[in-house]
């Protein structure tokens, strides 16, 4: 047994007897540089992990959404009407359509909105009457607890409101259309329609948080009164499954148009249903944003590899010369050094694949909180991992190209004669009072190319970190602007559509003279067509909408005689100001010219005058601007007395809820910022470690001259400060460039918001960029303090 | 016919726009199994001569005939092949690969000319035994003394069984006793294997081992004798 020579590489060598000595020498060199190799491998593995997680997470989401839709027979189309229609007539129509094969299954519903009392707090409630809540042929409710067959006075609660008291065996005290109703909870279920627990789409607006969703027997809900009259055998919502939803919609439109009072409707195809779009948005976010982020990380990792590898090849010059003198060709030596990249690429691929799966599973736990009882499926797919490995090796090889090219051009004589750091650039400037400070300043520029490369590597890392800050700040600025654009105090939605002229203080139940403006509107969700493109849109048609809303015009003018459409919708339809859009309204269509493109938090919003609708006198809601004598809270109490008002939204509360959501998103962005800041620190530490290692002899000389340990820090801090300033100068514009790039993808995939150049982002990026980089100075300082002066002087001066 | 024949070899370098001649019309012959010691002051062209003999550098003009091959016109690829087959190098600072054991260092050299692992292993062991390091084969360079490291370097140069061995200050980093030991070893190998040695040194004490001593000065041989 050789003394002190056994190690894992020797073991590998013995296990793989064909391993050539040249490759073995490089593999062992990796071992000597293990901390640097481990650091870079981890950075690359993290990047590959994010890349893999992006692709694999998207596959998980897609597979899970498909499975969820299939397993629950999720309807192809939902239609929510703003009037009650006769159940028997609609049932007969749908039954005939089922018999002739236009649809394969359908569900009739009566939806009542109101509020639910829990521990003295009022929460919105959404009660859905179904003929058979346990029906599995369409829109299946998956039982979580108890029964799916409620009797009289009983209901099933959607999973997710347990913390608001809606548990099995409890009584839900509700106010629906002004009536007090108590329903016993006999079952807890999960409906895909409301899979985002606590979040539900109502009247085109997504109201976050704390909504009670209950399923009861249709007859139970029909026995209630609405606006003072018994409801009877009427419904206001339906859903169906069909192989040809467009044909089915066409047939139903004719039916609705034939009714004495044509109802307005939200027509929501499966792909546009909030549950599905939210779930698919999750998939797209994974698929596009994570790989893009990972590419930024990979670039930083590649720069670190380039720097380490270049120094490694330069430091090994003499040994390369020896190999050449033995008759090794440049190509053979290059292949030997590729072992370095092979180790990092392989470690990054394997670790990255494991990390990708682990991060995906970890994130799914978080997403499960949003998606309630959705069962996530982990599909067996290999391409994300193969792609991860390919991208890892590609970036590693790209990083090694320059040093390998230099190696290829090297002649044996040049290699044998190489003298490290003989040629350095010395600036004549003197910064600082002491020689130690002067040394620190000059050291920063002694090898300008290396200094620049270090600044670029750290600067890019700062740029990546800062981009998340800019992203967070931009979205926050946008949301604040948007939330401040509403000039109304209260929004009400009616259970049954009424005449616009009837909407006044008296009808609403508000004291005379208590309002400044009442702007009735009709809001509905439908499809909008322009040319050969179709998109689902939220249409709001009102009388004087501009009085209660400041539109942020991106192009065109605020002219509601035509249509104002949101930026994202304009992009989806590929249109601009002056183009025409056709809006489908049940039984008819209307064409409007686009007069303005607006920035809007509701990304597919269309605003127009009520007069443009075929039924220009009917509305299903109103914006109310209160006078000084009535508070929004008091107004709400008055409004609750109106039996036709089913939802009341106070501007402040609505904003607060949205701000809470935005704040949660911000926390994620800030977490990314700090995570990337730490990576910037690692990159800075990795690159300055190389510098520290190269200056061992100088540090030893300084110590031998009597410089104290703590004084050794001074030139290093000076040098690091210069590097930090340079890195921040590069990092700051990089952060905006990267953010612009990320925001572009966000606009395509998730939501629209413009980039904001705020002082906060600039100052914070500068301060934290300096902090993370300067913190890395601890590495060379510790190195300089700990060196064995005697050993280094002896080794470097002998011979 | 001599194993090594240099005819009118010229070599110079340009630096800062100025051309400096290092070797001028140099003529040199060496027979198989001869040990030549090359001496001379710094800048006399010793290293350049060794580089040309070893195929590391090419002359500006003249012919370099080694073992029947004129390598003066060889391109880098053929020079590499030439070094692989016919030349062994021994350096002043040993230049062992620190991440390989003694035996692996020798095998590293053998892998350029031999594919069979068993043959490589056997030959590496043989030459390490020849230099007296049979008990140090699995030690890394840092675990060996300076003299032992130079013995590994000699074994590494010998293992390929080259026609010539070029040694640049092979004892320059050793004390007196180890210097003697290394030179004795090389002399024995020269006699046993018939390998031609070119040894560059400043150390006049080594003259006694030489079959011939050449003194270089100003790019030409100013003394050529025993």
Choice between A208 and A184, residue whose per-residue pLDDT is larger: A184
Provide CB contacts within 8 A for A380, sequence distance 6+: none
3-class SS of residue A17: coil
Tell me which chain A residues have a C-beta less than 8 angstroms from the C-beta of B173.
799
Asked if A4's CB is within 8 angstroms of B108's CB, the reply is no
Round to whole Å and give the CA distance between A312 and A307: 8
In sequence order, which ranges of A490-604 are alpha helices (DSSP H)?
Answer: 505-508, 567-573
Mutate to test the interface with B, among A34, A325, A419 (most CBs of B within 10 A): A325
The owner of tokens 């001028």 is B24
Question: For residues B149 and B161, what is the distance between their CA atoms, to the nearest angstrom?
Answer: 19
How does pLDDT run across A414-444, given as a tens digit for each residue?
A: 887 655 444 455 555 555 556 677 777 777 8
ipTM of the complex: 0.78
- Lowest mean pLDDT segment, chosen from A11-25, A90-104, A695-709, B161-175: A11-25
The length of chain A, given as a count of residues: 799
pLDDT attached to residue A105: 94
CA distance B130 to chain A (A): 19
**CA dist., res. A292 & res. A467, Å (int):** 12
Angle between helices A245-257 and A87-99 (to 10 degrees): 150
Terminal Cα distance for chain B, rounded: 20
- List, as ranges, residues 154-183 from B with C-beta within 8 Å of A: 156, 160, 172-173
Residue A192's closest CA among A140, A229, A240? A140
Of A180, A688, A155, A640, nearest to A453 by C-alpha is: A688
Q: Which structure tokens are listed for A318?
A: 């003499």
Whether A327 and B85 lie within 8 Å, measured CB to CB: yes
User: Can you tell me the mean pLDDT for B38-47?
Assistant: 87
B114 vs A: CB within 8 A: no
Is B207 touching A (CB cutoff 8 A)? no
User: Which of B79, B84, B99, B160 to mutate: most A Cβ within 10 Å?
Assistant: B99
From the list A736, A731, A769, the residue with the least C-alpha distance to A755 is: A736
Query: If you count residue pairs, one on A and one on B, with CB atoms under 8 Å apart, how many are there?
Result: 94
A101 has pLDDT over 70: yes
Q: Judge: A21–B117 Cβ closer than 8 Å, yes or no.
A: no
Residue whose pair of structure tokens reads 């105090």 in the numeric block: A489
- By C-alpha distance, the chain B residue nearest A23 is B108
For residue B12, the distance in angstroms to the closest alpha carbon of chain A comes to 14
Residue A540, judged by CB atoms within 10 A of its CB (0-12, 13-18, 19+), counts as buried
Q: pLDDT tens-digit profile of A473-509?
A: 888 888 777 777 778 889 888 878 889 999 998 899 8
Q: CA–CA distance from A323 to each of A537, A570, B99, B111, B127 (Å)?
A: 70, 65, 14, 11, 19
Interface membership of B133 toward A (CB under 8 Å): no
Q: Is the pLDDT of residue A31 over 50?
A: yes
Model pLDDT, residue A797: 47
- Work out the pLDDT band at A17, boundaries 50, 70, 90: very low
CB within 8 Å: B84 and A327: yes
Judged by a CB distance cut-off of 8 A, whether residue B109 touches chain A is yes
- Sequence-distant (≥ 6) Cβ neighbours of residue A797 within 8 angstroms: none
User: How many whole angstroms separate alpha carbon A642 and alpha carbon A693?
Assistant: 79
Q: Do residues A26 and A334 make contact, with C-beta atoms less than 8 angstroms apart?
A: no
Residue B83 to residue A25, Cβ atoms within 8 A: no
Element (H, E) at A115: strand A105-118
* Segment (H or E) for B6: strand B4-15
DSSP-based three-state secondary structure for A661: helix
B-interface mutation test, from A12, A27, A34, A322, most B Cβ less than 10 A away? A322
Question: What is the nearest CA distance from B92 to chain A, expressed in angstroms?
Answer: 9
Distance from C-alpha of A34 to C-alpha of A55, rounded to nearest angstrom:
30
Name the closest residue on chain A to residue B137, using Cα atoms.
A2
Query: For residue B93, which residues of chain A lie inside 8 Å, CB to CB?
Result: 799
Residue of chain A nearest B91, judged by CA positions: A322
Q: What pTM was estimated for this model as a whole?
A: 0.64
Q: Do B89 and A325 touch (CB under 8 A)?
A: yes
Tell me the C-alpha distance between B159 and A664, whole Å: 70
How many other C-beta atoms can be found within 10 angstroms of the C-beta atom of residue A96?
13
pLDDT tier, A238 (very low <50, low <70, confident <90, very high otherwise): very high
A349, A281, A359: which is closest to A50 by C-alpha?
A: A359
* Beta-carbon separation of B143 and A5 below 8 A: yes
Place of tokens 């959705």: A374
Q: Does B111 touch chain A (CB under 8 A)?
A: yes
Residues 1-30, chain B: which have Cβ within 8 Å of A?
A: none
**Chain A residues whose beta carbon lies within 8 Å of the beta carbon of residue B76:** 411
Sign of the dihedral through C-alpha A296, A299, A301, A304 = negative
**CB contact, 8 Å: B74 with chain A?**
no
Across chain A, what does the average pLDDT equal?
A: 81
**Mean pLDDT, residues A381-386:** 90
The answer to whether B9 touches B50, Cβ cutoff 8 Å, is: no
Percent of chain A with pLDDT over 70: 86
CA distances A122 to A53, A166, A171, A745, Å, are: 41, 13, 15, 39
Beta-carbon separation of B56 and A416 below 8 A: yes
Candidate from A17, A21, A411 with C-beta closest to B104: A21
Contacts of B104 in chain A (CB under 8 A): 13, 21, 24-25
C-alpha A224/C-alpha A217 separation (Å) is 12
CB nearest to A20's CB, from B87, B92, B111:
B111
Gyration radius of chain A's alpha carbons: 34
Judged by average pLDDT, the poorest of A88-102, A183-197, A299-313, A583-597 is A299-313
Is A326 close to B140, i.e. CB distance below 8 A?
no
Q: A608 pLDDT band (50/70/90 cuts)?
A: very high
Joined together, the tokens standing for residue A736 give 């905006």
Percent of chain B with pLDDT over 70: 97
Q: Count of alpha carbons within 13 Å of A736, Cβ hemisphere only?
A: 17
What's the rounded Cα separation, in Å, for the pair A597 and A676? 36
């Amino acid at each position: 047994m050789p003394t002190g020579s056994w190690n894992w590489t020797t073991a590998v060598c013995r296990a793989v007897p064909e391993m050539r000595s040249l490759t073995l020498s490089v593999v062992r060199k990796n071992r000597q540089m293990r901390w640097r190799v481990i650091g870079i491998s981890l950075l690359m593995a993290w990047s590959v992990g994010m890349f893999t997680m992006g692709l694999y997470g998207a596959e998980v989401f897609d597979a899970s959404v498909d499975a969820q839709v299939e397993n629950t027979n999720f309807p192809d189309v939902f239609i929510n009407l703003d009037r009650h229609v006769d159940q028997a007539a609609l049932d007969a129509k749908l039954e005939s359509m089922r018999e002739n094969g236009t649809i394969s299954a359908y569900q009739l519903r009566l939806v009542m909105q109101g509020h639910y009392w829990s521990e003295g707090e009022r929460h919105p409630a959404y009660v859905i009457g179904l003929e058979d809540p346990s029906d599995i042929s369409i829109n299946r409710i998956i039982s979580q607890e108890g029964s799916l067959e409620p009797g009289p006075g009983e209901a099933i609660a959607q999973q997710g409101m347990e913390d608001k008291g809606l548990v099995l065996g409890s009584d839900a005290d509700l106010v629906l259309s002004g009536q007090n109703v108590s329903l016993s909870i006999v079952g807890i279920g999960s409906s895909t329609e409301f899979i985002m627990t606590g979040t539900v789409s109502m009247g085109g607006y997504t109201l976050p948080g704390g909504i009670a969703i209950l399923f009861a027997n249709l007859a139970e809900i029909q026995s209630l009164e609405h606006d003072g009259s018994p409801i009877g055998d009427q419904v206001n919502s339906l859903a169906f499954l069909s192989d040809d939803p467009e044909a089915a919609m066409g047939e139903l439109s004719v039916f609705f148009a034939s009714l004495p009072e044509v109802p307005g409707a939200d027509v929501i195809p499966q792909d546009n249903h909030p549950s599905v779009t939210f779930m698919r948005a999750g998939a797209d976010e994974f698929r596009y944003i994570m790989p893009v982020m990972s590419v930024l990380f990979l670039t930083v990792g590649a720069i670190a590899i380039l720097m380490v590898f270049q120094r490694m090849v330069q430091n090994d010059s003499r040994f390369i010369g020896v190999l050449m003198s033995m008759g090794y060709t440049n190509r053979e030596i290059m292949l030997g050094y590729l072992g370095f990249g092979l180790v990092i690429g392989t470690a990054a691929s394997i670790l990255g694949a494991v990390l990708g799966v682990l991060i995906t599973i970890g994130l799914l736990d978080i997403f499960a909180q949003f998606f309630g009882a959705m069962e996530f499926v982990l599909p067996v797919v290999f391409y994300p991992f193969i792609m991860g490995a390919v991208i890892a090796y590609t970036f590693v090889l790209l990083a090694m190209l320059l040093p390998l090219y230099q190696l290829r051009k090297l002649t044996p004589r040049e290699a044998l004669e190489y003298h490290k750091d003989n040629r350095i650039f010395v600036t004549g400037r003197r910064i600082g009072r002491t020689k130690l400070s002067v040394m620190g300043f000059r050291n920063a520029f002694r090898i300008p190319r290396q200094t620049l490369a270090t600044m670029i590597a750290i600067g890019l890392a700062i740029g990546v970190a800062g981009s998340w800050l800019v992203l967070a700040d931009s979205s926050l600025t946008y949301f604040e602007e948007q939330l401040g654009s509403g000039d109304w105090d209260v929004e009400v939605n009616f259970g049954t559509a009424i005449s616009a002229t009837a909407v006044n203080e008296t009808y609403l139940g508000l004291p005379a003279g208590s309002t400044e403006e009442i702007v009735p509107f009709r809001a509905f969700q439908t499809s909008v067509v322009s040319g050969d493109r179709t998109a689902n849109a939220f249409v709001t048609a009102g009388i004087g909408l501009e009085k209660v809303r400041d539109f942020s015009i991106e192009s065109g003018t605020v002219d509601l005689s035509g249509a104002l459409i949101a930026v994202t919708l304009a992009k989806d339809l590929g249109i601009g100001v002056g183009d025409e859009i056709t809006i489908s309204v049940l039984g008819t269509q209307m064409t409007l010219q686009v007069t303005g493109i607006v920035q809007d938090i509701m990304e597919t919003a269309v605003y127009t005058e009520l007069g443009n609708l075929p039924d220009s006198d009917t509305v299903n809601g109103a914006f109310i601007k209160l006078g000084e004598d009535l508070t929004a809270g008091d107004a709400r109490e008055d409004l609750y007395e109106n039996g036709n008002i089913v939802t009341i939204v106070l501007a402040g509360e609505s904003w607060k809820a949205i701000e809470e959501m935005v704040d949660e998103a911000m926390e994620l962005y800030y977490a990314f910022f700090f995570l990337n800041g730490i990576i910037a620190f690692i990159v800075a530490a990795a690159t300055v470690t190389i510098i520290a290692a190269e200056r061992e002899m100088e540090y030893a000389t300084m110590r031998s001259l009597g410089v104290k340990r703590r004084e050794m820090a001074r030139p290093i801090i000076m040098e690091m400060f210069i590097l930090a300033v340079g890195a921040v100068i590069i990092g700051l514009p990089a952060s905006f460039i990267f953010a612009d790039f990320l925001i572009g993808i966000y606009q395509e995939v998730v939501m629209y918001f413009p980039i904001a150049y705020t002082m906060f982002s600039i100052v914070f990026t500068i301060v934290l960029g300096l902090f993370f980089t300067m913190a890395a100075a601890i590495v060379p300082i510790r190195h300089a303090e700990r060196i064995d002066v005697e050993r280094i002087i002896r080794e470097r001066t002998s011979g | 016919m001599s194993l090594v024949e240099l005819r009118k070899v010229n070599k110079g370098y340009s630096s800062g726009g100025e051309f400096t001649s290092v070797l001028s019309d140099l003529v040199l012959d060496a027979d198989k199994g001869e040990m030549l010691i090359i001496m001379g002051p710094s800048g006399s062209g010793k290293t350049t001569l060794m580089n040309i003999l070893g195929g590391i550098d090419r002359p500006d003009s003249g012919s370099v005939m080694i073992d029947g091959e004129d390598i003066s016109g060889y391109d880098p690829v053929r020079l590499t092949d030439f070094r692989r087959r016919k030349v062994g190098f021994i350096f002043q600072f040993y230049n062992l690969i620190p991440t390989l054991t003694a035996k692996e260092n020798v095998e590293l050299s053998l892998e350029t000319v031999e594919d069979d692992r068993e043959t490589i292993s056997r030959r590496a062991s043989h030459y390490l035994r020849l230099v007296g390091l049979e008990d140090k084969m699995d030690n890394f360079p840092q675990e060996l003394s300076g003299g032992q490291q130079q013995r590994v370097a000699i074994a590494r140069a010998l293992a390929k069984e080259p026609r010539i061995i070029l040694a640049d200050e092979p004892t320059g980093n050793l004390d007196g006793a180890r210097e003697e030991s290394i030179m004795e070893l090389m002399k024995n190998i020269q006699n046993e294997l018939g390998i031609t040695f070119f040894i560059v040194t400043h150390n006049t004490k080594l003259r006694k081992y030489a079959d011939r001593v050449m003194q270089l000065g100003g790019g030409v041989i100013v003394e050529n004798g025993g």
